[in-house]
Amino acid sequence: MSNSFGKIFQVTSFGESHGPSIGVVIDGCPAGLKIDIDAIAQDLDRRKPGQGAHTTPRNETDAFEILSGIHNGLTTGAPLCLVIWNEDVDSSEYDKRRFTPRPGHADYTAHIKYGGFEDYRGGGRFSARITAGFVMAGAVAKQLLQTIGVAIAARIVEIGGVTDPDKMNLRIEEALKEGDTVGGVIEGSALGLPVGLGEPVFDNLDGELAKALFALPAVKGVEFGSGFDAARLMGSQNNDAFTFENEKIISKTNNAGGILGGLSSGMPLIARVSFKPIASISKSQETIDLKTGKQITLETKGRFDPCPIPRALPLVEAMMAIVLCDFSLRAQKISLVI
């Protein structure tokens, strides 16, 4: 495993779904940043199951504790460790189906890679629950970015093929009734970026953002600006003409999504992320039994989250913020003592 991300602003994730805790170490945060505890709690709340009418069975309170790195409410330059204690959960269901990997989950690949020693309970290290740690790191990163006037926001652009916000809930309810799930597309944007974030030719802004976003469970695609549509446009359509606006250089269009040559252009950064539908469904599914070597039908009981998209908004923001903090520090756009 490799659970650290970032070169200067470095985030290290730990914890499992049914272990004692979920946590994160944030290293490289400059000293002197006032930490807004409420803002962290708010982002955790946005990530919590049960955002809309469609709840998951687990009632996550997600109260977090800061184990290090803060003195008098300010960062000290030392690593922050933030932890959420997992409440006692019943893992017996997972013990039973331990050798029958769920389709669409990491059960099978993790089992092979870790030789059966993986913590399989609740998906273990592959559970979406670990993103609570990402959210805490992202909330700190967002606060650090605010000091240089950078704001990050995510919005839902599509759920289960529906792009009209009014009809998205209906789509989710439909899926819920069928014991099924739907995915969607989230668009993350960052405003106020300085020109030149990114470190070509390999640590490009788009590449690093994509890598961070693929660390979110269920992500199957990432695009910037005109993205996959760019493949259908002519050069003359896709190129963004430069012009001046209030003596500032901007482009008339933003097909680049704010990234030129792997570097931020100063235009809004636009990333779109495709999430597959959650793999846990009530419908019966075919899988195999790793012990007996036989084909079986998997029946999973309980009530599942029919759509993760609303809860994933702070996740997309978190990953973008972590990457942008790292690049802002690398490009000396954030001073080390703030």
Q: Is the Cα dihedral 36, 41, 42, 46 positive or negative?
A: positive
Decide if residue 191 touches a second copy (CB under 8 A): no
Sole binder of a second copy in the list 74, 148, 151, 153 (CB under 8 A): 74
Closest among 239, 25, 36, 51 to 143, alpha carbons compared: 36
In angstroms, what is the minimal distance from the CB of 261 to a second copy?
2
Alpha-carbon 178 to chain mean position: 27
50 in the Ramachandran plot: left (φ > 0), alpha (ψ -120 to 50) or beta? left
Contact by Cβ (8 Å): 112, 298: no
In the range 39-68, which residues lie near a second copy by CB under 8 A? Answer: 65-68
Output 166 or 244, the one with its CB closest to a second copy: 244
The tokens describing 96, both together, are 């039973």
**Vertex 139, ends 75 and 156: CA angle to 5°?**
170
* Backbone torsions φ then ψ of 15, nearest 5 degrees: 110, 155
Output 21 or 146, the one with its CB closest to a second copy: 21
Closest among 145, 218, 233, 224 to 189, alpha carbons compared: 224
Site string for a second copy, 130-149 (x = CB under 8 A): x-------------------
Residue 322 to residue 328: CA distance in whole angstroms: 10
Output 166 or 297, the one with its CB closest to a second copy: 297
In angstroms, what is the minimal distance from the CB of 151 to a second copy?
21
Residue 229 to residue 231: CA distance in whole angstroms: 5
* Backbone torsions φ then ψ of 179, nearest 5 degrees: 70, 25
Sole binder of a second copy in the list 135, 137, 263, 320 (CB under 8 A): 263
Sole binder of a second copy in the list 21, 42, 55, 146 (CB under 8 A): 21
Decide if residue 98 touches a second copy (CB under 8 A): no
Output 51 or 122, the one with its CB closest to a second copy: 122
In the range 280-309, which residues lie near a second copy by CB under 8 A? Answer: 280-281, 283, 285-288, 293, 295
Output 68 or 146, the one with its CB closest to a second copy: 68
Decide if residue 10 touches a second copy (CB under 8 A): yes
Contact by Cβ (8 Å): 189, 268: yes
Please count the residues of this chain forming the interface with a second copy, following the rule CB under 8 A.
Answer: 148
Output 61 or 237, the one with its CB closest to a second copy: 237
In the range 224-253, which residues lie near a second copy by CB under 8 A? Answer: 224-228, 230-244, 247, 249, 251-252
